């Protein structure tokens, strides 16, 4: 356990530079006295760690200090290999960099650990291109020059000028303050601000991008996961979404819930069916989704959706009613 802690201490100093004993103790979840003992142990082992006195003092490593010590165990190495199999990096233009990094990680592992971790990774598959229904997830194609410019602006904190083609609208230049990049189901998004308004841009619709020299107007830190959840919630409950009240066979509940954007209410009917109040992306999405369930679901409201499904059923019955 102490060896792992010593490795973590060295990695913290390498990554963050000078740190106080109190800060190290907080990060390692030990006492300050334990940190001081660990510092002495590292010095005795030849690790060039030294103390800086004064108000802004702390502990640091000599500049340019490098070590091959990583302390990776089998599960940590396996986690890295599995992470390297995810396709998210492709959305951010980092596919080749990820492949190169994973080769270095595998090469740096001890022989026995390299063989067992790599063999285990071959038996775990994350986010395959097709599911059990043979539906293929097609990754978006984004030119390297565009995603590199967007990524650089996000990471450097500079403003970004993008030529963006919104759905059903002509392309238009926009200047935005980038906040972060998100990938969902092999689709990449740029989270940004435009003035005081939140904006989310689909990366595949960015036709050109130019990083500007002026700094972006954004907070120094961001909880990207929370930001995405908040924007996702606003999307689900706003715009042209379609709210539908329906009865559904309990055996099809999970399919309906999985297709809808949100479920606002749910209760059981007297006959054992479920009454759901759900939200779909728009009218077309609602009609398409509920048509899939045939007689296993019944729309109660709105009336326009009942009428649309009725007309579609009549058209199908008419087409197949007469023998060939």
Exposed / middle / buried, residue 70 (Cβ in 10 Å: 0-12, 13-18, 19+): middle
User: 215-224, 225-234, 310-319 — which is least confidently predicted?
Assistant: 225-234
Q: In the numeric block, which tokens belong to residue 226?
A: 């929370």
- Provide, for the chain, the percentages of residues in helix, strand and coil under a 3-state DSSP scheme, each rounded to the nearest 5: 45, 25, 30
Q: For 142-196, what is each residue's pLDDT tens digit?
A: 888 898 899 899 989 999 999 999 877 899 999 999 999 888 777 788 999 998 8
What's the CA gap between 217 and 200, in Å, rounded?
A: 16
pLDDT on residue 111: 63
The conformation of residue 203, written as its DSSP 8-state character, comes to G
Question: CA-based angle 69:74:75, to the nearest 5?
Answer: 110
> What backbone torsions phi and psi does residue 10 show, to the nearest 5 degrees?
-65, -45
Exposed / middle / buried, residue 225 (Cβ in 10 Å: 0-12, 13-18, 19+): exposed
- Mean pLDDT across the stretch 10-29? 85
pLDDT on residue 300: 95
Q: For 284-304, what is each residue's pLDDT tens digit?
A: 889 999 999 989 999 999 999
- Using DSSP's 3-state secondary structure scheme, residue 193 falls into strand
pLDDT on residue 250: 93
What pTM does this model have?
Answer: 0.52
What's the CA gap between 18 and 24, in Å, rounded?
A: 10
Among residues 323, 237, 228, which one has the least CA distance to residue 280? Answer: 237
Mean pLDDT of the chain: 81
Contact 129, 185 (CB under 8 A): no
- Using DSSP's 3-state secondary structure scheme, residue 94 falls into coil
- Mean pLDDT across the stretch 101-120? 63
Is residue 114 over pLDDT 50?
yes
What's the CA gap between 35 and 127, in Å, rounded?
A: 41
Q: For 189-224, what is each residue's pLDDT tens digit?
A: 899 999 888 899 989 899 999 999 999 999 888 888
Q: Which residue has the higher pLDDT, 87 or 299?
A: 299
Confidence label for 12 from pLDDT (cuts 50, 70 and 90): confident
């Amino acid at each position: 356990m102490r060896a792992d802690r010593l490795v973590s201490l060295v990695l913290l100093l390498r990554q963050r530079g000078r740190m106080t004993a109190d800060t190290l103790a907080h990060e390692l979840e030990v006492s300050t006295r334990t940190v001081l003992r660990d510092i002495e142990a590292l010095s005795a082992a030849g690790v060039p760690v030294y103390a800086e006195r004064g108000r802004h003092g702390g502990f640091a490593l000599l500049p340019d200090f490098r070590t091959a010590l990583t302390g990776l165990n089998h599960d940590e190495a396996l986690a890295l290999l599995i992470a390297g199999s995810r396709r998210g990096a492709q959305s951010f233009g980092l596919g080749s960099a990820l492949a190169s990094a994973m080769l270095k990680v595998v090469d740096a592992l001890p022989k026995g650990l390299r063989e067992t971790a790599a063999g285990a990774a071959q038996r775990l598959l994350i986010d395959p291109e097709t599911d059990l229904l043979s539906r293929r997830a097609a990754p978006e194609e984004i030119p390297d020059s565009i995603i590199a410019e967007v990524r650089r602006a996000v990471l450097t904190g500079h403003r970004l000028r993008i030529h963006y083609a919104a759905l059903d609208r002509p392309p238009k230049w926009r200047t935005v303050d980038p906040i972060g990049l998100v990938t969902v189901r092999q689709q990449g998004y740029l989270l940004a601000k435009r003035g005081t308004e939140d904006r989310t841009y689909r990366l595949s619709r960015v036709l050109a991008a130019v990083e500007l020299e002026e700094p972006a107007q954004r907070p120094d830190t961001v909880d990207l996961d929370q930001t995405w959840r908040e924007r996702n919630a606003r999307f689900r409950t706003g715009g042209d979404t379609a709210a539908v009240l329906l009865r559904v066979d309990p055996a099809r509940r999970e399919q309906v819930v999985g297709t809808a954007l949100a479920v606002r209410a749910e209760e059981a009917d007297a006959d054992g069916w479920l009454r759901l109040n759900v939200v779909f992306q728009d009218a077309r999405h609602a009609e398409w989704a509920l048509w899939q369930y045939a007689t296993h679901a019944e729309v109660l409201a709105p009336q326009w959706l009942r009428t649309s499904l009725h007309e579609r059923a009549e058209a199908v019955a008419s087409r197949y009613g007469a023998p060939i």
